[in-house]
Copies of this chain bind each other. A is one copy, B any other.
């Protein structure tokens, strides 16, 4: 075998991965995962404490599709104490599920992960929030905070974004970035941001970033940032108050999500959640006064679905 391994760079991937392609494949993958039509082995994880870095390898397969994916994602923090990501890298390998042959590499530098994470957050927030919800509270000031708002705005109008970050300079910079994307944003206190109709958290926090009591009735909260057992963004009391809890993968969320923290704190039962994909398949009737919460830890099946869709456009 001496054929050349196709490697697609970010420019090619950006052209192929239109918002429609991303939203559709992420939605389909969340539904497939909820229906048990995916294979997602436990991720491989490595820590590099001295460099403030870690490496996650996630694999995923939508059962009976042609390809599966193995995704490498690294996050190295130049200033670990601040929890500020300075470097995210990664790539996605597409592998034939029939022959084991590596079909292509998407050298996306982590972009597909950022997009599928944003698309999953937006889809789940949109389907769970009140139809009249218009204001968005954002916790965190990184790239993913910006993407969550931009992708949610593709699904419903947003009248105001309240950005809360511990670093005011970063919060102001994110507001600038949101303005460039045509979105109205201003910096806010944690209490103000927690008072929005929709709240999305995208931090690397190790303790809750908001008070459950500050979240009003009728609000929806989506937690994105908690992806290891020592991280924690949402307080257990919020899960206790919630009338509906969604997870993208129950066992993952129990193991290293905010849902797991809440269950271990006795604030909710370990089977109190609904699979996010089921809500996407059949949107629910939602009492206007209910608080709803989604805990998304990211499942490898999303990578598989999105990378396959992209590759099908690049190598039709």
Specify the chain B residue showing the minimal Cβ separation from A73: B100
- Counted per complex, copies of this chain come to 2
CA distance A200 to B150 in the complex (A): 59
Q: How far is the CB of A109 from chain B (nearest CB, A)?
A: 5
A99, CB-defined interface residue at 8 Å:
yes
Q: Do residues B42 and A55 form an inter-chain contact, with CB atoms below 8 A?
A: no
Contact of A100 among B10, B70, B87 (CB under 8 A): B87
Specify the chain B residue showing the minimal Cβ separation from A11: B2
Contact of A101 among B2, B57, B87, B105 (CB under 8 A): B87
Chain B residues near A39: list those with CB within 8 A: 46-47
Specify the chain B residue showing the minimal Cβ separation from A88: B100
User: B-facing mask of A32-62, CB < 8 A → 1, else 0?
Assistant: 0000000101111111100101010101010
A241, CB-defined interface residue at 8 Å:
no
Q: Do residues B93 and A72 form an inter-chain contact, with CB atoms below 8 A?
A: yes
Interface residue ranges of A7-49 to B (CB < 8 Å) = 7, 9-11, 39, 41-48
* Majority secondary structure, A binding face: strand
Q: Do residues A41 and B51 form an inter-chain contact, with CB atoms below 8 A?
A: no
CA distance A285 to B93 in the complex (A): 47
Chain B residues near A75: list those with CB within 8 A: 100
Q: How far is the CB of A220 from chain B (nearest CB, A)?
A: 33
Chain B residues near A46: list those with CB within 8 A: 39, 41, 59, 61, 68
Q: How far is the CB of A175 from chain B (nearest CB, A)?
A: 25
A97, CB-defined interface residue at 8 Å:
yes
Chain B residues near A76: list those with CB within 8 A: 98-100
Chain B residues near A212: list those with CB within 8 A: none
Known: A1-B10, A43-B44, A57-B57. 19 other contacts (CB 8 A): A1-B109, A2-B9, A2-B10, A5-B7, A5-B9, A5-B105, A7-B105, A39-B46, A42-B44, A46-B68, A51-B99, A53-B99, A55-B68, A55-B70, A55-B100, A75-B100, A87-B99, A89-B99, A91-B93
| Top 9 closest pairs, chain A to chain B, by CB | A74-B100, A76-B100, A44-B44, A5-B107, A89-B100, A53-B100, A70-B72, A41-B46, A89-B101
